[in-house]
Structure 1
Amino acid sequence: MHCVRNVTEDLYWVGANDKRLHLFESIHPIQDGVSYNSYLLMDEKTVLFDTADLSVVKQFLENVAYVLGDRPLDYMVINHLEPDHAASMDEVLLRYPGVKVVSTEKAWLLMKQFGMNVEDENFVQVQEGDRLKFGKHEVTFVAAPMVHWPEVMVTYDLTNGVLFSADAFGSFKSLDGALFADEVDFRGEWIGEARRYYTNIVGKYGPQVMALLKKARTIDIKMICPLHGPVWREDIGWFLDKYVHWATYTPEEKGVMIVYASMYGNTMNAANILASKLHQKGFHNIHMYDVAETHVSELISQAFRYSHIAILSVTYNLNVFPPMQSFIDDMKRLNLQKRVIGVVENGSWAPQAGALICEEMDEMKQMTVLNEQVSLLSSVNRTTEEELDGLADSIIESMKQDY
């Protein structure tokens, strides 16, 4: 049976939800699934905007067939060739062989690489600024390379202000019958998954995202239709502001992320002491994470959120503890910058983690490492407790600066 919803009077959501998927891209845990959004415009010409993952192809095709009825499918606009959105293209082509596929030159090359059966005469190549009219609706295309693949474009409906935004403005979580962001508790239940989605999937490409956002400022966006997550029709400015923060690597809020690696509890104890001292000194926006128990995608999300990161690591084989090293490696890969870093190391005979962490931070952009670094020998003693107190003071003092 079909499961569709009206986006506007003549635009329909024909996507599907996958609540059985536990690892997005085989790496990022998702506890509540994900939606694969596709949209069908019913004008003088019928237009499908993107498809869906093969895992939900049956539901997706039933939805398309229900909305089309006995009408043919005239156009299929492909904004993004990643398989979770384009893998069902061949199934659409089999059922609607006369459909014209609209996308970019780079997308055409990727279609061939993925073995999609698009005939040359049925492909309509577009570039930025081109327009297509489907009846009362006229759309224009905006290039969005490396957001987050090189072929990406977004499509803007000049008639009603709808932006088909590809992977931009997406989120983890299945929709569960909802469609619009104002139908769910987005600021409470959803924002963390939207942040985790952006920072881990698109986070590396901040400058490219900012280039797209600058283009977006020149058009009157009344609605955003992403390929994952809910459709935006209210509070669009609020969500755009979140994207500006993430794309410019600007902290959303002044807060301390304390992430620790502890083998036998001593480094964890130092993390608890540091957190306690910060609270005693009047600063309360503090969040603690065990690097071995928290998936790195969540750590990255929180690192993008907060202004300060306290990294506490045991030395392991004269190196940084492996899960902590993985977190630092991901921060570097995703271009995280503009953070204040506190460093605490631990080691029983040859503490090395602190110096190695500082070297890693030096290789990143605009990372300020506080001078009050702490080196534990096996466990916290009176001297190192005082040093942790000094680190807490330094963190709070640095909060007075703008980052």
Structure 2
Amino acid sequence: MNVTKDIRYIGVNDHEIDLFEGMYIVPEGMAYNSYVILDEKVAVMDTADRNFVQEWMGNLEAALEGKKPDYLIVQHMEPDHSSGISAFMEAYPEAKVVATAKAFTMMKNFTGTDYTGRGIVVKEGDKLELGSHVLTFVTAPMVHWPEVMFTYDSTDKVLFSADAFGKFGALDAEDEEGWACEARRYYFGIVGKYGAQVQAVLKKAAALDIQIICPLHGPILNENLGYYLDLYNTWSSYGVESEGVAVFYTSVYGHTKEAAEFMAAKLQELGCPKVAISDLARDDMAEAVEDAFRYGKIVLATTTYNADVFPFMREFIEHLTERNYQNRKIGFIENGSWAPTAAKVMKGMLEGCKNTTFAETEVKILSAMTEENKAQIEALAKELINA
């Protein structure tokens, strides 16, 4: 596949994987993207996952059409992108590898060598001339590993963005929901903690004339780039993407579920523009995290469990706080048969979140929802809608 006249796509699709990074379900598989720039000198951008190195090498050889690569540019050392380094360096003994100093340290850890004598260490603003193409390296530490860099080709105005702007899903899979859905789940699951670092690199990118974005996962972006850049700016600044309320619950015998569903129905009845609801014990946790960051208001409904909160709710809140959850309003529904403490525990877990407020309306259920509880839930729904 041609990206431009001189840039070829040589990545691979993975439909064998069940959990990406051992955690995220990927029913549509994954793409491990790699590119080759054909000029007077030839540069290869990243490699592939270890299960697909031979397929990737075949793609590279076909794209080269008899040429020999001069450089392997390693933007990110995560093994799904770097596992082909050793095979490449063995197959092309005259090629040099280009990476940041931290990447070379990781390279030695992963491969047993840092390719002394064959390595070119680059830093912010360094350039590499291929002929008509001039590459500029843009450091992007902690997006989402410390060694990461982007590469900008000023000739074709292409930004090779490492894991940024990536999404779940193989490139040959059907994408009925559009880019944002799986890109959002990918971002908040994997990159979300590092919003400040993403903001920093977006400021660098704003100074570049970018016409095409080539990420290491997901499709090549070559139109309406403002849409993708605006979303990344919203996500990395912890802004509100969609007006609405997301309701998250755990329930043992169904009473808290009933309250959560009543809350969702009441929000819809009162005209809330969008209502999402998640059963944290059964729904994909990464999807729930995605919704918590998408909307500006959330409701947490759970039972007291061992004088704490139900384990799936605790796990969910920990996912939020470790990703710097902020700029939100949160309502609580707690349940307990003799000593409900869930709301207190949840507030304690979330009290360090920046610019986050708790709803004044409190809903405390003692075993089963009553008419009084329904009135409290309606009051909470009105408070959230009018906030």
Amino acid aligned to 2:382:
D
User: In the superposition, relative to structure 1, how do residues 116 and 64 fare at CA in structure 2: closer, same or farther (>3 Å)?
Assistant: farther
Instruction: Identify unmatched segments of 5+ residues in structure 1.
Output: 179-183, 399-403
In the TM superposition, 1:231-250 aligns within 5 A as: 231-250=220-239
Contact 1:262 1:313 in 2 (8 A): yes
Which whole-Å CA distance do the structure 2 matches of 1:233 and 1:287 have between them? 31
Q: Which residue of 1 aligns with 2:121?
A: 125
Counterpart for residue 258 of structure 2: 269
Alignment correspondent of 2:79? 83
Do the aligned residues in 2 keep the contact of 1:252 with 1:306 (CA within 8 Å)? yes
Q: What is the deviation of 1:79? A: 0.7
Normalised to the residue count of structure 2, the TM-score between the two structures is: 0.98
Please tell me whether the aligned partners of residues 361 and 369 of structure 1 are also in contact (alpha carbons under 8 angstroms). no
* Residue from 141, 159, 166 that aligns with 2:137: 141
8 Å contact kept, 1:53–1:87: yes
Q: 1:295 Cα deviation (Å)?
A: 2.1
**One-letter identity of the residue aligned with 1:142:** V
Q: Which one of 25, 31, 39 corresponds to residue 27 of structure 2?
A: 31
Give the whole-Å Cα distance in 2 for the aligned partners of 1:277 and 1:201.
33
Take 2:313 and 2:161, find their aligned partners in 1: how far apart are those partners?
34
Contact 1:89 1:116 in 2 (8 A): no
- CA displacement 1:113-161 (0-9 Å, x = unmatched): 1124442111011111111111110111111111011111100001111
The structure 2 residue matched to 1:18, chosen from 14, 36, 41, is: 14
Residue 284 (structure 1) shift = 4.0
- Contact residue 189 and residue 289 of structure 2 kept, 8 A: yes
SS of aligned partner of 1:395: helix
Q: How does 1:2-401 map to 2 (within 5 A)?
A: 5-176=1-172, 188-398=177-387
| Alpha-carbon displacement from aligned partner over 1:74-101 (angstroms, at most 9, x marks no partner) | 1001111111101110011111111110
TM-score (norm 1): 0.94
Q: Which residue of 2 aligns with 1:401?
A: none
SS at match of 1:120: coil
Give deviations 1:213-248, integer Å, cap 9, x for gaps. 000000100100000000011011100000001100
**Any idea what SS the aligned residue of 1:61 has?**
helix
Identity of aligned residues (%): 43
Deviations 1:151-182 (A, max 9, x none): 1110000111101100111000000089xxxx
Q: What secondary structure sits across from 1:64 in the alignment?
A: helix
Q: In the TM superposition, what is the alpha-carbon distance from 1:197 to its structure 2 partner?
A: 0.5
- CA contact 2:105–2:114 (8 Å) conserved in 1: no
| Two-structure CA RMSD over aligned residues (Å) | 1.2
Q: Structure 1 75/116 Cα, relative in aligned 2: closer, same or farther at 3 Å?
A: farther
Tell me which residue corresponds to 1:181: none
Runs of 4+ in structure 1 off by over 3 angstroms are none
In structure 2, stretches of 5+ residues that fail to align are none
Contact 1:90 1:116 (8 Å CA) reproduced: no
The one-letter amino acid paired with 1:86 is S
Paired AA for residue 99 in structure 2: S
Q: 2:215 is aligned with what amino acid?
A: P
Matched residue SS, 2:232 = helix
Q: Distance in 1 between matches of 2:119 and 2:63?
A: 24
Aligned equivalents of 2:144 and 2:97: distance in 1? 21
Say if 1:104 and 1:126, in contact at 8 Å, map to a contact too: yes
Distance across 1 between alignment mates of 2:113 and 2:64: 22
SS of corresponding position for 1:389: helix
Query: d(CA) in 2 for partners of 1:119 and 1:207?
Result: 33
The offset of 1:70, in angstroms, is 2.1
